[in-house]
Amino acid sequence: MLITGIKGINDILPDDVGKWQWVESVARRIFSNFGFQEIRIPLLEKTELFARSIGESTDIVEKEMYTFPDRNGQLLTLRPEATASVVRAFIQHRLHLNPTMRKFYTIGPMFRHERPQKGRYRQFHQINAEVFAMDDPMVDAEVIYMLLVFLEELNIPDVTLHINSMGCPDCRQPFRKSLTEYLGRVSDKLCSDCQRRRLTNPLRIFDCKVEPCKQLVREAPVLLDYLCNDCLSNFEGVKEHLTSLGIGYTIDPHMVRGLDYYNRTTFEALTPHLGAQNAVGGGGRYDGLMETLGGPDLPATGFAIGMERLILLLDEKIEIEKDSNRLFLACLGNECQKRGFQFAQQLRLRNIFVEMDYESRSLKAQMRRADKLGATHVLILGDDELAKGVATLRNMETSVQEDIPLEGIVEELLQRLRSAM
Ligand code: ATP
Ligand code: MG
């Protein structure tokens, strides 16, 4: 029986990898201009890290995590998101003591056991950015700005920004009361999950994907109407800075993110081009998380971008640059192949793309392969040439061929290929 990969867990084949590398390199360049440094965190963590941070009654923790006991019986989870791990690492390595460690980004796979469909997978990749120990609304605006600059640089079309405020524990208290009252009145119309959520974590009902619940949520009281003065002026500050940066936004009082730890400003970048999977990225402030996880009481904000969705949205026309100097060695006969084999290694050591044929096929077959590989030049090495002490260099674009002496050929090729770049 053929062993295939796991449903919803995909391979990224070489033909597509260029796009991924490009997206990653743009992220690295832009994020680093904004003062972000890369942090690499593990794929596996203790389950309690996610249970405690994301929230026990969220979909992610209740239904989507890949959790298993290891051989010592320790419960582990394949990370469903990155923020909890970045916070854990920050606390564990006492990075708050180092004032140069405030802004982090990380890129890598996440795991959620969801129903696979376009734009939704069980292993997917995120680019995450997190900022610690800064709570000025300017920081929220700047993080959102960075997200949009990044999407713009990738030419992702028709992105809209939705923002909301999740308030603070002070404003959530009275809001929760009136939401619970409302949900009590409509409880017989809620799905079975929301019946339960109504009592455990009513805010989660805003995240329900079941149609009748979505309808009911539209008429529910919203947190935005219950913000305390501090949260209100904070939200005003964020909006003001967004406007000063020329960013348009829609206030969406019904947007709650799928994780419990958010407070104050949350946001999502949406696209109309991916059907139901309309969020390219999202994030927000999570000021309480550091302390919840046993660290210092420091504010934080950040976002995550889904890379698969970005790749789906990339313009088909984008040309991913390949190395512009690509040499193919077409060697005819044993002796020539041995010489070519050596040239190839020497040129590769000098940073030139070289590919050759190892099977002594006909010149025609070798030229076909050179073409497929996108070779800009082919060096033809045959017995006749060898006898004359030369090799023939063919420029694949112009079809011009000329003989080059074997003596000093590596230096000569280097010069020609580099100047052709
Ligand atoms: P959604 O509402 O689409 O489920 P989410 O709120 O669960 O998204 P986050 O946890 O905020 O998503 O993750 C940030 C981004 O990661 C999303 O905006 C999306 O682009 C991407 N993402 C989330 N889940 C998946 C998935 N299962 N497959 C592919 N991308 C995903
Ligand atoms: Mg989700």
Tell me, using a 6 A CB cutoff, whether residue 256 lines ligand 1.
no
Please tell me whether residues 239 and 126 are part of one structural domain. yes
* pLDDT at residue 57, as a whole number: 82
User: How much is the average pLDDT of 37-43?
Assistant: 98
Return the ligand 1 atom nearest residue 112 CA. Answer: 27
CA distances to 18, 27, 130, 148, 324 from 108, in Å = 16, 12, 14, 20, 28
CATH number at residue 125: 3.30.930.10
* Structural domain contains residue 378: yes
Return the ligand 1 atom nearest residue 305 CA. Answer: 15
* Structural domain contains residue 151: yes
Please tell me whether residues 163 and 33 are part of one structural domain. yes
299, 134 Cβ separation under 8 angstroms: yes
Domain end residue (candidates: 313, 342, 366) = 313
* pLDDT at residue 51, as a whole number: 94
Name the band, by pLDDT with cuts 50, 70 and 90, for residue 193.
confident
Residue whose CA is closest, atom 5 of ligand 1?
258
CA–CA distance, 215 with 190 (Å, rounded to integer): 10
Please tell me whether residues 302 and 382 are part of one structural domain. no
The percent helix, strand, coil of the chain (3-state, each to 5) is 45, 20, 35
Q: Select the more confidently predicted residue: 421 or 405.
A: 405
pLDDT tens figures, 135-152: 999 999 999 999 999 999
Å from CA of 364 to ligand 2 middle = 53
Q: Which of 419, 360, 411 is nearest to 395 (CA)?
A: 419
Please tell me whether residues 294 and 392 are part of one structural domain. no
CATH number at residue 397: 3.40.50.800
Please tell me whether residues 139 and 249 are part of one structural domain. yes
Please tell me whether residues 131 and 233 are part of one structural domain. yes
* Structural domain contains residue 182: no
Burial group, residue 126, by CB count within 10 angstroms (0-12, 13-18, 19+): buried
Domain end residue (candidates: 313, 334, 367) = 313
* Structural domain contains residue 367: yes
Residue count of the chain: 421
CA–CA distance, 82 with 281 (Å, rounded to integer): 13
* Structural domain contains residue 360: yes
* Structural domain contains residue 280: yes
* Structural domain contains residue 364: yes
Please tell me whether residues 99 and 137 are part of one structural domain. yes
Å from CA of 64 to ligand 2 middle = 9
* pLDDT at residue 320, as a whole number: 67
CA–CA distance, 87 with 94 (Å, rounded to integer): 10
Please tell me whether residues 360 and 397 are part of one structural domain. yes
Domain end residue (candidates: 313, 348, 370) = 313
* Overall number of domains in the chain: 2
Q: How does DSSP assign 125-150, residue by residue?
A: EEEEEEEES---HHHHHHHHHHHHHH
Please tell me whether residues 27 and 157 are part of one structural domain. yes
* Structural domain contains residue 104: yes
Tell me, using a 6 A CB cutoff, whether residue 126 lines ligand 1.
yes
pLDDT tens figures, 101-141: 999 999 999 999 999 999 999 999 999 999 999 999 999 99
Pocket test for ligand 1, best of 23, 63, 110 (most atoms within 8 A of CB): 110
Please tell me whether residues 136 and 237 are part of one structural domain. yes
End-to-end CA distance of the chain: 48
pTM of the model: 0.92
Please tell me whether residues 339 and 262 are part of one structural domain. no
Q: What tokens were used for 318?
A: 């984008």
Instruction: Please state, rounded to an integer, the average pLDDT across all residues of the chain.
Output: 93
Å from CA of 305 to ligand 2 middle = 12
CA–CA distance, 408 with 386 (Å, rounded to integer): 14
Give the distance between the most distant pair of CA atoms in the chain: 95
CA distances to 85, 101, 123, 207, 250 from 39, in Å = 10, 10, 20, 30, 32
312, 25 Cβ separation under 8 angstroms: no
Q: How does DSSP assign 52-66, residue by residue?
A: HHH-TTSHIIIII-E
Return the ligand 1 atom nearest residue 114 CA. Answer: 27
Q: How does DSSP assign 209-245, residue by residue?
A: -SHHHHHHHHTS--GGGG--HHHHHHHHHHHHHHHHT
Domain of 306? 14-168+228-313
Please tell me whether residues 270 and 372 are part of one structural domain. no
Ligand nearest to the CA of 257: 1
